[in-house]
Amino acid sequence: MAEYEVVHVAIAPPPVVEEELVNKVAAIVAKNLYETRLRLAGKIPKIIANCADMQMAESTARSLRELGLVVVVCADSELRKFSQIYRAHTLKFDEQAVMFWDRSGQARRMEPSDVFLIVSGRMQICMETEVTTTVKKLNVAATLMLGGIPIAKKVKEKTTNRSFRTESFVRLYGRTSPEHVVELLQHDFDYSFLGAEMVSSYAANFSTTVKKIRDALPEAIFDDRLVEPFGADMRSAIPQDDIEMNCKLIYWCHQAMSIRGSSV
């Protein structure tokens, strides 16, 4: 028996959410008007329907496309599969490409024709720090030997402290798949390549770097909808675990629009 897998139908929210559109979409995906309106609103692509198989998902997608919506279909495993991320630590521009190096010194060359999409955004990173403290506990054996006189002993205990940090990022995607990604993180990058343009602010250096990358890769679509919060779509930053799915949905929506001969 074949293993069951949910197939998702996702949409890029339209510029204007009209009541007639809400009614038609709700009828197609069998959801109430309130939930349908929420999924059509905002700027981030959202899953509008979950189907039992690919045939049902494609049928739903065709009906939604007939309403003028940008629609993508993907299996759950495909959506949740983590991309192979090459995390760049520094870069260099030449006349025909951008050269990246990671912390190990491995190089990655990206020419303008290689990059389909540049996604800029912010994510919430969870950082765990192990802390060792010394506490006093009752030494039961020694206490019994001394006839009940409480004797304490020092014991080292390890605890894990969690903290959260908002991290700006930029990702470069190729033209055929969202699986291979070049990523830059604001607080994990060497900005010395900026030379005299380098300042003391991480945010300013990151912004300058993103601008220079865009200038060097003019053929790529630039999408920064994950930078700012958009009401119900997201908080001040998306949790790191959700970034992968959001970026993939954005990538696939841009691909769908490119096939139609337009841009999002």
Distance CA 100, CA 93 (A): 9
- Domains belonging to the chain, first-starting first, are 7-79 (3.30.1390), 83-127+162-259 (2.30.29)
Give me the pLDDT at residue 48, please. Answer: 96
Lowest mean pLDDT among 85-89, 117-121, 129-133: 129-133
Give tens-digit pLDDT for 94-123.
888 999 999 999 999 999 999 999 999 998
What is the model's pLDDT at position 165? 79
Mean pLDDT of the chain: 88
Q: Picking from 113-117, 127-131, 196-200, which range would have the lowest pLDDT averaged per residue? A: 127-131
- pLDDT for 157: 75
Q: What is the pLDDT of residues 3-16, one digit of tens each?
A: 678 999 999 999 99
| Mean pLDDT in residue range 180-196 | 95
Segment 175-197 mean pLDDT:
93
pLDDT of amino acid 263:
44
CA atoms within 13 A on the CB side of 142: 8
- DSSP states along the chain: -PPP--EEEEEEPPSS--HHHHHHHHHHHT--HHHHHHHHSSSS-EEEEEESSHHHHHHHHHHHHTTT-EEEEEEHHHHHPPPEEEE-SEEEE-SS-EEEE-TT--EEEE-GGGEEEEEEEEEEEEEEEEEEEEEEEE-HHHHHHTTT---EEEEEEEEEEEEEEEEEEEEEEESS-SSEEEEEETTS--GGGGGGG--S-HHHHHHHHHHHHHHH-TTSEEEEEETS--GGG--SSEEHHHHHHHHHHHHHHHHHHHHTT---
Q: How confident is the model at residue 130 (pLDDT cuts 50, 70, 90)?
A: confident
pLDDT the model gives residue 145: 75
Main-chain dihedrals φ then ψ at residue 208, nearest 5 degrees: -65, -40
pLDDT in tens, 205-244: 999 999 999 999 999 999 999 987 544 344 455 666 688 8
Question: Quick one: pLDDT band at residue 161, thresholds 50, 70, 90?
Answer: confident
Predicted pLDDT of residue 154: 77
